[in-house]
Amino acid sequence: MTSTQVNPPKSTSGGNGTTPLIRLNSVTKVFLTDEVETHALSGIHLDIRDGEYISIAGPSGCGKSTLLSILGLLDTPSDGSYALKGHEVANLSFADRARIRNREIGFIFQSFNLIGDLTVYENVELPLTYRGMSSGDRKTLVTQALDRVGMAHRAKHLPSQLSGGQQQRVAVARALAGKPAILLADEPTGNLDSRTGEAVMNLLKELHAGGATICMVTHDERFAQHADRTVHLFDGRVVEDSRVAA
């Protein structure tokens, strides 16, 4: 595997380019437990282009989280192909997958996943330390990310000193700091009250308006409507793929 395949250059094509940022072709995921086959995903075809804001919606158990795990290179398909920026990534080694996750994919989790004994600044900086960047370069990226989510003034605070909404903003900053190709958000409002959840959704909308590519899993139809495009799953299959009318 060459370095070009592992770390393809940043795409410069716009949302109407011929090559999608992500392409899933006939992706299937089967879990085997106690000799029982569970088909979590069945024949998923999905293209995500630069600059899109897409929500993946559907009832509990429909395959949303499994699909997001595959998109985030946290899991592999049982069958089918996954191309990122035109390069097949489904069967890369563990080390190569980890390297791509660190550079190309920003994760926003429902439970924030901040480290309690690190400051806000240190939480956002941590993924960048695995890139071998200088402290000056890391400081620039962290400061920019915290500014974008309105949390620069909390840089020295610990997560326990923040509200849930503030913690999620820090989690968004951590995802943004490395300038990934795509942000993957897994139920980003799941642990927040409705008012705070709406504020986080507005933040994601602002980031999208600024050029970010976002793919969000949600069971809440209200929040799914924030996206420009919604893919509905049912029993591991895409049953509807709709776009907001211009």
Distance between CA atoms of 97 and 91, rounded to whole angstroms?
9
Task: Give the range of the structural domain holding residue 126, as residue numbers without chain letter.
Answer: 51-73+97-243
- The shares of helix, strand and coil residues in the chain, as percent rounded to the nearest 5, are 35, 25, 40
Angle among Cα 86, 87, 88 to the nearest 5 degrees reads 125
Residue 4: is its pLDDT beyond 60?
no
Domain presence at residue 89: no
Structure confidence by residue, pLDDT tens digits, 126-177: 999 999 889 999 999 999 999 999 999 999 999 999 999 999 999 999 999 9
**Confidence band, pLDDT 50/70/90 cuts, at residue 246:** low
Domain presence at residue 25: no
Structure confidence by residue, pLDDT tens digits, 212-224: 999 999 888 888 8
What's the structural domain count of the chain?
1
**Confidence band, pLDDT 50/70/90 cuts, at residue 245:** low
56, 223 in Cβ contact below 8 A? Answer: no
Residue 90: is its pLDDT beyond 60?
yes
At a CB cut-off of 8 Å and minimum separation 6, what does 54 contact? 48, 214, 215, 216, 227, 228, 229, 230, 231
- Full-model pTM: 0.86
Domain presence at residue 43: no
User: Which stretches of 95-246 are assigned E, i.e. beta strand?
Assistant: 105-108, 182-186, 214-218, 229-234, 237-243
Domain presence at residue 193: yes
Angle among Cα 67, 120, 171 to the nearest 5 degrees reads 15
Residue 235: is its pLDDT beyond 60?
yes
Domain presence at residue 132: yes
CATH code for the domain of 239: 3.40.50.300
Distance between CA atoms of 145 and 177, rounded to whole angstroms?
5
Estimate to the nearest angstrom the gap between the alpha carbon of 25 and the chain centroid. Answer: 19
Helices 164-177 and 135-148: crossing angle, nearest 10°? 130
Mean pLDDT of 112-124: 96
Mean pLDDT of 193-198: 90
Structure confidence by residue, pLDDT tens digits, 43-81: 999 999 999 999 999 888 899 999 999 999 999 999 999
